[in-house]
A and B are shown apart, each in its own frame.
Chain A
Amino acid sequence: MARSEYILLDDVHRTYQEAGRSHAVLKGLSLAMNSGEIIALLGRSGSGKSTLLNVISGIDKPDQGQVVVNGIDLTALSERELTLFRREHIGFIYQFFNLIPTLTARENIALVLELNGYSPTAVREISQTMLAAVDLSQAADRFPDRMSGGEQQRVAIARALAHSPGLVLADELTGTLDAETGQLVLKLLQKLVSDQGGTLLLVTHSLAVAKTADRVLTLEDGQLAEQEGSFAW
């Protein structure tokens, strides 16, 4: 399968002001990620992994450098355009699931479809399909607080993939799950992403998770490095 560059980061800098002092998180970072590729991103706490996800998803803007996702230069977009870009092209999965507590499992999935302007019929059908894909058809009408952590994470995966985004960003996907559930969830996510031909960027501390990726990158001192061999954390 022919692969093209889906994400292209070039000389990205991001500095924060904290208590009157500058703190450079990303220092001239560059990254090329192909369509359909799965990359695991490792790094110590505070190394800037979340900042990198924010920059790639258009939540945060770099001070300098270029961020191109699916051929769109994010640095040139307005706040509203970035929101619409995120809505259409990105699927987010978090360690703490971040489901909407006042919506049922089905509605959580339907929300992104509605946001993307799908017809009511399509919303219903895709929600149902996604629920079945994560094996939660029976929990469709349950609210998040009535679900286990593993179930909530599966709903989060279904929500992230429902609108077939080009890029899925997963931040500590298995952080709050036990090893066995974590593995199941990870396999499910990888399968679904690969079925849709999507691109997956996994931020993780887990070596086991990292090993399942096509490539492993390490973020250290504001720069990315290709990781090979054993991991220190």
Chain B
Amino acid sequence: MPGSLPISLLQRSSLRFMAHHKRQSWLTFTGIMLGVTMVVAVDLANSSARRAFALSLTSVAGNVTHQIVGGPLGIDEHVYSRIRTELAIRNSAPMVTGVVRIKGQNFRLIGSDPISEATIGRHVLGLHRGELKEALLNPNAVVLSERGANRLELSLNQTFSLQVTGREPEVKLVATFAADNPAATEGLIFTDIANAQTLLQRWGRLDRIDLVIDRDDQLRLEAWLPDELKLVESDSRNQSMQQMSDAFHINLTAMSLLALLVATLLIYNTMTLSVIQRRRTLGIYRTLGVSRGEIFNLVLSESLALAVIASAAGLVAGLLLGQLLVQLVTRTINDLYFSLHVSAFLIDPWSLLKGFSLGIVMTLISAFLPAWEANRTEPIAVQQRSALEEQWRSRLPFFVTVGLVFLLLGMLLVNREHGSLLEGFAALTMIVMGFCLVIPSIVVVLSRATILVIAPLPYQIVRIAIRGISSGISRTGLAVAALTVAVSVTVGVGIMVGSFRHTVAVWLDQALVGDVYISPTGLVSDDALRRVKQQLTGVDGIKHVVGSRVLNAESEFGPLRLMARTLTDVDTGMPMKEAVPGAEQLFLEGQGVLVSEPLAYHRQRGPGDTISLHTSEGPRQFPIVGVYFDYTSSQGMVVMQHELYRHWWSDDSLTGLTVVGKQGVTADKLLSETRRAIGLDLEHFTVISNGEIRQVALSVFDRTFVITDVMRLLAILVAAVSVLSALIALQLERTREFGILRATGMTPGQIRLMIIVQTLLIGLFAGLLAIPLGLLMAEVLIEVINRRAFGWSMQQTLPVDVLIQAMVLALGSAFLAGLYPAHKAATISPSMALREE
């Protein structure tokens, strides 16, 4: 009795097969590699951004357990000395931070006290070193990381100027340090706290006090702290900052997984192709006594070998693409969320491992069916070529049933009230998969319908081409499915982005009620903006000037944006979504606040509810009188009358002015009048017209979606390769048929035409099917994903150009993918083809 089976010769045969069919092996390789590349690149870009964020937090937060944060004006520095003396809490360090510009680049200025820093064990700078302490205590002395100094081309003891609070004070680089993690500190500039207060013109004020305290100290502090100050846990504060951009990261990951899904279809196609090509050989194996299980394992082990190599290549390509994506991700985060500096591309081993494993698992999953198909191979003596297609066709009703169940489940998840973002993605995946399962049956119906349409016409070649689609449905169905998914992503995301852009443009028109907006270029004293307001009052052409104050305020949900506005007329400039009766009047009288749509959605607060904000007199509940549309931040914003703000925060400062012109005054005239009135102070302010803000906002919007375009293009690329592999599979299966056609007088040109017609039809079907799937996807993206991720609602538009683009993309990629198989089929030697069994 034979022992266990050594299959080295079988494996050798497999390897030789792959080596002899290089193009095909490359296709499979490319499919796996592209899928892994997408996942790894996005993951690395995301993790680099997250890590940079975490590192920058750590570099300035250290092992701090709690922070004392203040109101809009920060913390009186006496509070710090009282904490140390009255409460005897020594593990505390004050900090002043602000944004400065050096040689046109943004840096975060950190003002700290070297002695206190040591008490909380924060040594990120090596501040415990005596010489550095000494250096920092010199007036105007600053310290940069070595990498930061190199980037700015600054040498030790060199004097240079900072742009801050509208001035350009000179500072001296007294020391550099080599950080353990250069990326974390590259965007930071350190100085003594007193210097920072002077540079930022925040004399006597602190931004926060960092503490390392236990539970007892926490309780004592909470009891002692003045009402306007709040003690927060360091972790929860950082987490809420991180959560802001989480939805953005999740969206990107979802797109990369969608690309992986398309890649899976491609891998399936190419693996099936390799099984088809060897059906005869596999049949011989079966005759010689190789069992079904052994053949199954053989095909799976081949895929595994390819998966390992291609996934490894995918990791390398992912590293390269990730470096490009991290720039796009960072730019978006900077535009939308918070200032983030990612200069170092961090290679997260976990991302690599995840990408590699996904490549292997997806390949094995997609190779499972081909391996099963191979394992069903009959011994050579009883092989029937048509058996496979027959089997496939008989399974179509099953696929349709399962597909419809998936679609139904997806729709149920979509319609669930207050479902999570992950449920939203699960719903989207189910809808896409459900649709994919129905596609082969639709393709059969469409093919038959097309034949009926062209029935009266004498186009035999076209007829053969169409029949080829339905008779090879196991291949063509998948090709159409892969292309449909990729193109539908273009349609869905295109509609979503178009609708979003349209909504933002309309919203900007409504929200930008002023004609000219003025904001300080850096931190200026309250007086400066107030003085400008005075200067503008009574200027020719100016109807009125409205001051506003925007700040980060503490709330029951952590820090959020608070805007205080002085509104002089009923038009609030805030398109309302929903409101209590008489909301405008209540708002103007300071009897309630407005909350932005994302805040209302995420925190499930609406008109009639209240929101707790931490005022100078401690936490206070404010009635919500309305929810307004807002696309400035997904974090959420609260708006209140300036008077109400002044009352609770005792803060009279302004951060911006809105100038409204008189009827008939042109924007240009108003802009020039405003600039003239500001006079010499103009350099300290940004004076920008309504139109310019609109333009800047929309360009930021467009930049945000560049990364989406990159992902869409990659998905299309994967789909095109998928169509190519499916067509090659078809061509291989029909070699004999082409031989007969050539032998009976069909010219190579006619064969070529036939294949091109077939591929164009595949493209047409995919394009047509991508439209309903894309519309469905857009609906889910707009109404579910974006809503759950960002809380934004959008007015759906149907840009015709997106639909035309989808058809062109589907036809174009199918046509290009068909050129090679058409050429191969046309150049088949009739005698060789007819010798094939």
Contacts and interface: CB of A to CB of B under 8 A. Distances in A.
B837 A101 contact: no
B293 A80 contact: yes
Interface string A75-86: 000011001101
Nearest to B8: A114
Contacts of A103: 9, 12-13, 16
- DSSP class of B's interface residues: helix, strand, loop or mixed? helix
A110 B10 CA distance: 11
A111 B382 CA distance: 22
Given A83-B292, A84-B291, A98-B287, A111 B381 contact: no
A96 B835 CA distance: 10
Interface string B259-285: 000000000000000000000110011
Contacts of B382: 54, 59-60
A94 B381 CA distance: 9
B402 interface: no
A114 B292 contact: no
B288 interface: yes
B294 to A, nearest CB: 9
Contacts of A83: 286, 289-292
Name the residue among B3, B8, B287, B378 with the largest chain A CB count within 10 angstroms: B287
Interface residues of B, number: 34
Contacts of A79: 292
A117 B6 contact: yes
A22 B382 CA distance: 18
A171 interface: yes
B834 to A, nearest CB: 13
Interface in A10-53: 50, 53
Interface in A85-123: 86-88, 90, 92, 94, 96, 98-103, 107, 110-112, 114-117
B383 to A, nearest CB: 10
Interface in A104-155: 107, 110-112, 114-117
Contacts of B13: 100, 102-103, 107, 111
B16 A102 contact: yes
Contacts of A115: 2, 5, 288-290
A159 B284 CA distance: 12
B8 A96 contact: no
Name the residue among A79, A102, A117 with the largest chain B CB count within 10 angstroms: A102
Contacts of A57: 287, 381
Contact of A102 (B6, B20, B293): B20
Contacts of B288: 86-87, 92, 111-112, 115, 159
Nearest to A98: B284
Given A50-B381, A117-B6, A100 B286 contact: no
B291 A59 contact: no
Contacts of B281: 100-102
A114 B6 CA distance: 6
Nearest to B4: A117
Nearest to B3: A117
B280 to A, nearest CB: 8
Contacts of A60: 382
A98 to B, nearest CB: 5
Name the residue among A59, A94, A171 with the largest chain B CB count within 10 angstroms: A59
B17 interface: yes
B1 interface: yes
B816 interface: no
Contacts of B837: 96
A54 B286 CA distance: 12
Contact of A59 (B1, B12, B381): B381
Name the residue among B7, B291, B382 with the largest chain A CB count within 10 angstroms: B291
Interface in B1-51: 1-10, 12-14, 16-17, 20
14 contacts: A53-B381, A60-B382, A83-B292, A84-B291, A87-B289, A88-B289, A96-B837, A101-B281, A102-B17, A103-B13, A107-B13, A111-B13, A112-B289, A116-B2
Interface of B: 1-10, 12-14, 16-17, 20, 280-281, 284-293, 378-382, 837
Given A102-B12, A115-B289, A171-B381, 10 more contacts: A59-B379, A84-B2, A88-B2, A88-B289, A103-B16, A107-B9, A107-B12, A114-B7, A115-B5, A117-B5
Interface of A: 50, 53-54, 57, 59-60, 79-80, 83-84, 86-88, 90, 92, 94, 96, 98-103, 107, 110-112, 114-117, 159, 171
